Amino acid sequence: MSTASYGNDPFQYARWSSLIMAIVSLIAAAWYLSFETPPSFETSFLDSPQTSTPNVESNKIEIRRRKLGDGCYHIFLDVGANIGLHARFLYEPHSYPEAETAKSIFETEFGTTARDNRDFCVFAFEPNPIHRARHEKLKKHFEESGLHYRHVPVAVSDFDGNMTFFHNDDANDEEQGFSDHKVAGDKAVEEVVPVIRLADWIMNEIYERELPSKIYGNYSDITPKNAPKVVMKMDIETQEHAVVPDLMYSGVLCQTVDFAFGEFHYPSVRYGPGADGRGGLTLQEGQDAQNYVEQLLRAFHSVQDCVTKEFSQLTEGSYLHDDVPL
Within 13 Å of residue 20, how many CA atoms lie on the same side as its CB? 6
For 283, residues 6+ apart whose C-beta sits below 8 A from its C-beta are 241, 266, 268, 269, 270, 289, 292
Q: Is 264 helix (H, G, I), strand (E, B) or coil?
A: coil
Please state which of the ranges 93-102, 236-245, 305-314 shows the lowest mean pLDDT: 236-245
Say if strands 74-79 and 120-125 run parallel, antiparallel, or are unpaired. parallel
**Separation of alpha carbons 84 and 45, rounded Å:** 17
Q: What percent of the chain has pLDDT over 70?
A: 75
**Separation of alpha carbons 127 and 135, rounded Å:** 11
Domain ranges of the chain: 11-65, 75-312
Q: Which residues pair with 61 in a beta bridge?
A: 56
pLDDT digits (tens, 9 = 90+) for 21-45: 655 455 544 444 443 333 333 344 4
pLDDT digits (tens, 9 = 90+) for 232-272: 999 998 888 889 999 999 999 999 999 999 988 765 555 55
Distances (CA, A) of 315 to 10, 16, 211, 260: 75, 65, 29, 11
Alpha-carbon dihedral sign for residues 273, 277, 278, 280: positive
Closest C-alpha among 115, 90, 91 to residue 101: 90
> Which DSSP string corresponds to 133-159?
HHHHHHHHHHHTTT-EEEEE--EEESS
pLDDT digits (tens, 9 = 90+) for 133-163: 999 999 999 999 999 999 999 999 999 999 9
Give burial (CB, 10 Å; 0-12/13-18/19+) of 259.
Answer: buried
**pLDDT value for 270:** 56
Peptide bond into 54 cis (omega under 30): no
**Separation of alpha carbons 95 and 57, rounded Å:** 50
